[in-house]
Structure 1
Amino acid sequence: MKKLIIIPAYNESASIKETIEEIKYRAKGFDYVIVNDCSTDDTRAICEKNGYNIINLPINLGIGGAVQTGYRYGYNEGYDIAVQVDGDGQHNPEFLESMVKYITTNEVNMVIGSRFINKEGFQSSGTRRVGIKYFTVLIKILTGKVITDPTSGLRMVDRGIMKMFAYDYPKDYPEPESVVAVLRKGGKVKEIPVIMRERNGGVSSISIKRSIYYMIKVSLAILIERIRK
């Protein structure tokens, strides 16, 4: 089974080396690709200096475009499973094998690593937890499915969903919307408990000033996704 870790990276010079070295040590059965989203810091230089597997985007596409690039790469290269791991050190690669075991033995299409099942480790900021709870309720209303951590970036998909995302993936704050897309297609989505950490460096793409925009934009996108044919 070919397994790929997709690492979207924008200005992650403070943490990218530590992230990749931990992946190489703790996730030996996985290949990886870094998608450098036109970083303006030393992310590219660090990756190239260390010989990391990297795709350098010519323009900034945002998180959705960067992750979609990873899925396109994974699908074209014949991978069976792909998992997104953020480049800021929040996601512990020790949980990846558990995710593989779950997705293969339970015949599901997407497995999300949730920090809220066992409530261990870093639980995110209070403001963000409010937003997470909001999207949990919205997704439950629209799909009947409870997703405790719909904004989690630690998510693993099978080859069928990889193909779907390679050609159709939300561009802006994609996590909640992409979950609804999988459910709308009849896919099976499950969560397993993980422990997340605070970011080692860089800046979150969701600032306080953008929170209102995020809530409105993603809500509308989820509603549109739900009624798409």
Structure 2
Amino acid sequence: MKKLVIIPAYNEEGGIEKTVQDILSNAPDFDYVIINDCSTDQTLAVCEKNGFHVVNLPVNLGIGGGVQTGYLYAWQNGYDIAVQFDGDGQHNARYLDEMADKLINEHLDMVIGSRYIKKEGFQSSGLRRFGIRYFTGLIRLVTGKKITDPTSGMRMVGRDVIGFYAKNYPKDYPEPESVVTILKNGKKVEELPVQMNAREEGVSSISPRKSVYYMIKVSLAILIAAFRR
């Protein structure tokens, strides 16, 4: 089966090399593609210097547009499995084979790497954990499915969802909304316990000042997605 790691990258010059080396060392059966979302730092230069596989976007599309570009690449190039993977060193490639086995053997449509099943490794800040618990409750309310880590950017999907996301993917803070969308379309989603690392380089796109906007926007997006297919 053809398997692809999608690495959305915006200003990840400090972590992108380590991320790719992690994949090459711990998940050699996976191909990878970096979606450089018009970074203003040296991300593209680092990729070109190392000969990394990169799609260089001419304009900044944001995280949703960058990830959707990765799914479109996966769809057009015939990949059976695709997995999102942060470019800042927070995710660990040693879990990718286990995620793929779970996806295939349990006939799932998505497997999410969750920090909050075994609660090992980096657990994020208290404020963010509160927000994650809130979204877990909201998603369970509208879908009946408990997702312990709905904001996790480490998620693997099969061919059907690749095609779905290549055509339709949320543009802003997309993780919770995109899970609700496929759950409401009858797709099977499960989680796998993983350990994540604290961010070593770069800055999160969700600053404390944006937290209130994030909570309101994502809540509305989840509710809309729950009643639209």
The two structures share one fold, judged by TM-score above 0.5: yes
Q: Counterpart in 1 of 2:36?
A: 36
Using the alignment, how far apart are the partners of 2:137 and 2:101 within structure 1? 28
Q: How many percent identity over aligned positions?
A: 63
Using the alignment, how far apart are the partners of 1:21 and 1:103 within structure 2? 24
Q: Counterpart in 2 of 1:163?
A: 163
Using the alignment, how far apart are the partners of 1:18 and 1:83 within structure 2? 17
Q: Counterpart in 1 of 2:195?
A: 195
Q: Counterpart in 2 of 1:146?
A: 146
What's the offset of the Cα at 1:101?
A: 0.4
Secondary structure at the counterpart of residue 6 of structure 1: strand
What's the offset of the Cα at 1:34?
A: 0.1
Q: How many residues align?
A: 229
Q: Counterpart in 1 of 2:83?
A: 83
What's the offset of the Cα at 1:199?
A: 1.1
Using the alignment, how far apart are the partners of 1:208 and 1:175 within structure 2? 19
Alpha-carbon displacement from aligned partner over 1:25-62 (angstroms, at most 9, x marks no partner): 11100000000000000000000111000001111111
Q: Counterpart in 2 of 1:52?
A: 52
Using the alignment, how far apart are the partners of 2:201 and 2:129 within structure 1? 20
Using the alignment, how far apart are the partners of 1:172 and 1:187 within structure 2? 22
Unaligned runs of 5+ in 2: none
Using the alignment, how far apart are the partners of 2:95 and 2:21 within structure 1? 16
Using the alignment, how far apart are the partners of 1:119 and 1:21 within structure 2? 26
Letter in 1 for 2:109: N
Using the alignment, how far apart are the partners of 2:147 and 2:119 within structure 1? 14
Q: Counterpart in 1 of 2:72?
A: 72
Q: Counterpart in 1 of 2:180?
A: 180
Secondary structure at the counterpart of residue 73 of structure 1: helix
Using the alignment, how far apart are the partners of 2:192 and 2:49 within structure 1? 36
Secondary structure at the counterpart of residue 199 of structure 2: coil
Using the alignment, how far apart are the partners of 2:57 and 2:228 within structure 1? 30
What's the offset of the Cα at 1:176?
A: 0.2
Using the alignment, how far apart are the partners of 1:167 and 1:207 within structure 2? 29
TM-score when scaled to structure 2?
A: 0.99
What's the offset of the Cα at 1:200?
A: 1.9
Q: Counterpart in 1 of 2:207?
A: 207
What's the offset of the Cα at 1:21?
A: 1.1
**Mapped pair 1:114 → 2:97:** no
Unaligned runs of 5+ in 1: none
Letter in 2 for 1:162: I
Alpha-carbon displacement from aligned partner over 1:71-101 (angstroms, at most 9, x marks no partner): 0000000000000000000000000000000
Q: How does 1:128-139 map to 2 (within 5 A)?
A: 128-139=128-139
Letter in 2 for 1:183: L
Letter in 1 for 2:165: F
Secondary structure at the counterpart of residue 209 of structure 2: coil
Letter in 1 for 2:73: Y
What's the offset of the Cα at 1:214?
A: 0.4
Using the alignment, how far apart are the partners of 2:173 and 2:222 within structure 1? 11
Secondary structure at the counterpart of residue 210 of structure 1: helix
What's the offset of the Cα at 1:22?
A: 1.3
Letter in 2 for 1:187: K
Q: Counterpart in 2 of 1:218?
A: 218
Instruction: Indicate the RMSD between aligned Cα atoms, in angstroms.
Output: 0.5
